[in-house]
Amino acid sequence: MLDERSPVPLYYQLQEIIRTRIEGGQWGPGQRLPPEADLCKEFNLSRGTVRQALADLVREGMLHRRRGKGSFVAAPKIQQDLQTLLGFSDYVKSVLGTDLETRLISARLIPATPSMARTLAVPDGSDIVEIRKVKLVDDQPFFLSAAFLPSAANPGLENDDHSTGSLIQLLRDKYGFKVAKVKGWFEPVLVTEYEASLLEVAKNSPAMLYQRIRFGADDKPLMLSKNVIRGDMCRITFQVADADND
């Protein structure tokens, strides 16, 4: 129960109680929490204090809100292992045991900008296949993906069916796509208004920009990918041999 004499704020104490109930299985993924009025009554708190506790748990990704329906326990975050060479969709499938839903935004040819030409080792202005998608988990937008590949090595890719399945699997099956190594990096970002509309979150919500360059056996760049992942639905994990050094 709450300790009014504690230096720990009441809203934070309530957060920890809710967190304990969720982690202990009292409230499971997808379950609706009691209404704010019931929480106020149970813990003898003001509605403002209860709302602050819930809002912080929403920002953390432990809860999510449905307009007019209340607060619900969020599904466990997907953990991306930094050491895997799997495509992100393939990795999530290996964790969830099911395919992600795909919502195609566009598949088209674009001219390579100087920066993209350097990244993919192609001439400036040459044709690049750009494929943009929204990936969903249980009908909820999870991340935005953008893939860029030289058209010369993947002729007609922009005309393939990208409405379902994994792009990496399509590239393997149809174009003989074989990745030898991957260079990748993460960057915390705030989503733009357009990205927010696709991800169904508020503008400037935290997200993770996950970029990868895939290389073939001859060190030739095969593909540049950029994923904007909702910050409340993903956690990055890693393991090192020596963890003693800060």
pLDDT in tens, 114-125: 888 999 999 999
The domains spanning 10-73 and 78-237 adopt the same CATH topology? no
Q: Which strand (E) or helix (H) includes residue 176?
A: none
Sequence-separated contacts (24+) of 124-127 with Cβ below 8 Å: 126/150, 126/151, 126/152, 127/151, 127/152
CATH class of 10-73: mainly alpha
Domain ranges of the chain: 10-73, 78-237
Tokens at 130, concatenated:
């750009």
Q: Does residue 243 have a pLDDT over 60?
A: no
| Residue 47 C-beta-side C-alpha neighbours within 13 Å | 4
Residue 92: the pLDDT is 59
3-state helix, strand, coil in the chain (%, to 5): 30, 35, 35
- Alpha carbon 156 to chain centroid, angstroms: 29
Instruction: Report pLDDT digits (tens) over 203-241.
Output: 888 888 888 999 998 999 999 999 998 887 776 665 656
Superfamily of domain 78-237: Chorismate lyase-like (3.40.1410.10)
Q: How far is CA 98 from CA 1, 19, 166, in A?
A: 40, 27, 12
